[in-house]
Amino acid sequence: MNFDDEQIIIGMSRKHGLGNRLHCLESAYGYAKLTGRKFYFVWDKDDECNIDFEEGFNLPDPDMQISLDDLELLLDDKYAERMQVFSGLRYIYLNRLGSSSNLRNKSSVIFEQFVRRGGGADVSHLKQDQEEDIIIYDGYKELKYIDLELFFKLLKPNGELMDQIKRYKDDNGIDKSVIGAAIRGTDWKDRSDRRYTSSIEEQKKEIELIIESDKNKRIFLTSDEPELEEEFRATFPNNVFFRSKDESVSKINAESGKWDLNIMRDKTSVKEAIVDMYLMAYTDFKIWHQMSSFGRISDRLSQWNIDCLKENDA
């Protein structure tokens, strides 16, 4: 891998779950398009998202993805002087690469304000050429003032998952007449968390209001906890439906009741989440908690009318 004579940004998608990883990539790609840089990314699986990128997704240019071995080149002094790292957790990616002593930590006030969800940064500043030729974005929050839709116009689930999405969509009449709902359990430590209880109750009230307005309204629901799917279907048996899954999120320590630092998402459960996320794009997605990265992405896919089954424009 040769980064000579290029201005690039690398999205370091290697922490947290599926939604946060996609936030990293959509932000880095959008920033690349805004500033005329070339986009690369690293996808490093772990317990919270234990799937290789190509097992879940396709991109039109496979060369966008680079390995951690490729990234080691950036520790060479030749590249270090040209590099800036933007992250809430600076240098976290070096845990696998060694010392950060070769990296020059230059100031980045404008971009750091930008990463902090805007912070008053004027997007026009970002269009100016940066001193650094190589930028690493190691954040997991979506950046403001960037066209995040661009990445999802390129990104596709892989062929296996596309077949599942099309089959379920067609067989169950998933369209904008259906309300989409994402009820996430792993966003909270456990059910003793008052935010968990209040969130679930608020989402039930939202469904009640929808049904009061239209008693026949269909609500397609997804959750990372099968118990929640069953609970909502039992509460609204004539309206709520969900897709049966081969595997859901589990706990590393099954004896612990907590999700906090105890999440295991194996390959199958991540694939199930990808299918449900892209199905939500076809619904009128309305019900989700603001803390949920899965919900945020599903909401945007629905608003943008992202159709993963449609061929990309040439």
pLDDT in tens, 62-77: 899 988 777 766 655 5
Residue found under tokens 């049904």: 211
pTM check: above 0.85? no
Among residues 100, 101, 103, 1, which one has the least CA distance to residue 42? 1
Residue 15: band (very low, low, confident or very high) from pLDDT cuts 50, 70, 90: confident
Greater model confidence, 248 or 157? 157
Q: 109: which 2 tokens?
A: 């006030």
Q: Give tens-digit pLDDT for 94-126.
A: 323 333 332 223 223 223 333 333 333 333 434
Residue 30: band (very low, low, confident or very high) from pLDDT cuts 50, 70, 90: confident
Q: From CA 263, how far away is CA 256, in angstroms rounded?
A: 11
- Dihedral of alpha carbons 231, 232, 238, 242, sign: negative
Q: From CA 23, how far away is CA 146, in angstroms rounded?
A: 12
* HSE, side-chain direction, 13 A CA sphere, residue 164: 20
Greater model confidence, 223 or 105? 223
Among residues 96, 17, 92, which one has the least CA distance to residue 264? 17
What number of residues does the chain have?
314
Q: What local confidence, expressed as pLDDT, does residue 98 receive? A: 32
pLDDT at 14 over 70: yes
Q: Give tens-digit pLDDT for 248-297.
A: 776 666 666 665 655 667 888 899 999 999 999 999 999 998 888 899 99
Q: What is the mean pLDDT of residues 130-143?
A: 68
Q: What local confidence, expressed as pLDDT, does residue 91 receive? A: 32
E strand map for the chain: 8-13, 38-43, 57-58, 83-86, 134-137, 156-157, 179-183, 219-223, 240-241, 250-251, 263-264, 284-287
